[in-house]
Chains A and B, each alone.
Chain A
């Protein structure tokens, strides 16, 4: 019964949202509101909530009449939904039609919103633009090559330093946010929860945003970029590492504990040997990711080749941009292949 209530709640929520989306989309299509009308946040919120409440009621009534919606199909236990047993193709059932209608509307809406235009893509002026930029990009100006190389070295070291500094911090954190290590005591579990949450928040903020924050804090340049990468690397590596710690096999841990070893000795002798190789693989992969990210971060003032790229792009010096793009592509390709090769070797 409890399970039943949960299913009803989940399907009312999901289908309510789908119905609301469909109704609001149709409304926008037929009423064709002006921009002013679209910007009236409180009135539109009120309207949406009204539609949502109405949809919820409709979904509830439909389900109780035995007409099953997507939510019901997804969340109900198989024995609860008799619909599965009927011999009707899915696209003739209510939930199938609901799915198709919602998908078509969403697809059409995304065309409109992204201003998708075959005309722009293939018009004559469009072609001329494409021709101009490609011919410049494909004729790189190699005079700036020496400076480009210096800049990409800066980028690589930025990524390297961020990775190296992140490893010991993430190593310690990974044990503090591994469930099997921290579930022994209430205090430990509280620390586990806090660190997990902090890391999740940190990770959900893009390094690009951190770079903007740090470029104001410590000034534009490679240091700001490195700090942004460091923070993001710590959060990502700690998560990767802690998942490895969580699937450590208990046997050796128990055996070392049984010899009378201290907690640190247990970690060092029974846990670390089990994780050291996958740790290394993740670390190399992170460095590889960091080189790519460092390039992007440079675009917002994080230093290195990204900063150089954005300067030339601003002046529409496409031949110079071509040279930089080439250098970046080569380095990223080498890093990518190299790191994949090393990771394969230490498996």
Chain B
């Protein structure tokens, strides 16, 4: 945990409908850390991750990834950068009709020419990689089953394998366990930690539950109404901070 892999400075994002989702957010992500982003629904967590890998264009500020400014890029450059940033979604977003293996392999798309990929001809190395990562998340034996026949937790593991097949240098996870039951939740989070520790991959993960934050995060940042209101280690989120971050909703959450 030394020099930052990602530097976000004064980032703003205003959507075309006038919603100000991010109002000047600054933070660093250190090489190899497991950073968790918390905040209420609508606080801008998803927007932040989507700005980082250029799925949304930031309105202002800057994002520096491995020393390179990637704030305003498009075309081939944007694709190149996206290929180095893996992403996992709340609803897994697998291709339902494709096999688990083909889903994992689709992570290699950016290294395969459009023509070759349309005919399904991926390189031998990429095929091995896809199987290797399916093995890593413990789902290799289901490689030739259709993705939509897996349970939610299994689908999310396939999504992790797909992201790893990209050979990314950082992994963004947008509420990866929000649609899973508590037990499955831990299985998926444990695989994310494994990826972080064993492969040394930097992880930025949006989370809802404070208990998970305490268990998995190296460091936490909190967003509220598009602004950064906390940055520090998970142990430092005490009662007072908790109420600052979650406002009135804090009392309800507390009962759980």
Contact = CB atoms under 8 A, between A and B. Distances in A.
Interface string B55-97: 1000000000000000000000001111111110101111111
A258 B107 CA distance: 9
Interface string A241-281: 00000000001101111111110110011100110100000
B162 interface: yes
Given A273-B96, A273-B97, A259 B91 contact: no
A288 to B, nearest CB: 25
B47 interface: no
9 contacts: A251-B93, A260-B84, A260-B109, A260-B110, A260-B166, A264-B114, A264-B118, A269-B109, A274-B95
Given A254-B93, A268-B117, 13 more contacts: A255-B93, A255-B94, A256-B109, A258-B55, A258-B85, A259-B87, A261-B106, A269-B95, A269-B106, A269-B117, A270-B95, A274-B95, A274-B96
Contacts of B95: 252, 256, 269-270, 273-274
B159 interface: yes
A12 to B, nearest CB: 35
Contact of A257 (B55, B80, B92, B118): B55
B15 interface: no
B154 interface: no
A265 B82 CA distance: 14
Interface residues of B, number: 31
Contacts of A257: 55, 82
A274 B110 CA distance: 21
Given A265-B117, A268-B117, A258 B87 contact: yes
A258 B53 contact: yes
Interface string A78-104: 000000000000000000000000000
Contacts of A270: 95
B118 A268 contact: yes
Given A254-B55, A268-B117, A268-B118, A259 B93 contact: no
A259 B89 contact: no
B98 interface: yes
A189 to B, nearest CB: 14
A265 B162 CA distance: 15
Nearest to A268: B118
Given A259-B162, A260-B110, A252 B83 contact: no
Closest 3 pairs between A and B when the two form their complex, measured CB to CB:
A260-B83, A260-B110, A255-B93
Nearest to A256: B106
A268 B84 CA distance: 21
B89, B94, B109, B117: most-surrounded residue (chain A CB, <10 A): B109
Nearest to B163: A259
A15 to B, nearest CB: 38
B87 to A, nearest CB: 4
B96 A262 contact: no
A289 to B, nearest CB: 27
Contacts of B106: 256, 259, 261, 269
Nearest to A271: B95
Contacts of A251: 89, 91-93
B123 to A, nearest CB: 15
Contact of B82 (A258, A268, A273, A276): A258
Interface string B204-232: 00000000000000000000000000000
A256 B53 CA distance: 13
Given A269-B106, A269-B117, A273-B98, A261 B93 contact: no
Contacts of A261: 79, 106, 109-110, 117
Contact of A260 (B82, B93, B96): B82
Given A273-B96, A273-B98, A259 B166 contact: yes
Given A255-B159, A269-B109, A260 B94 contact: no
A255 B109 CA distance: 12
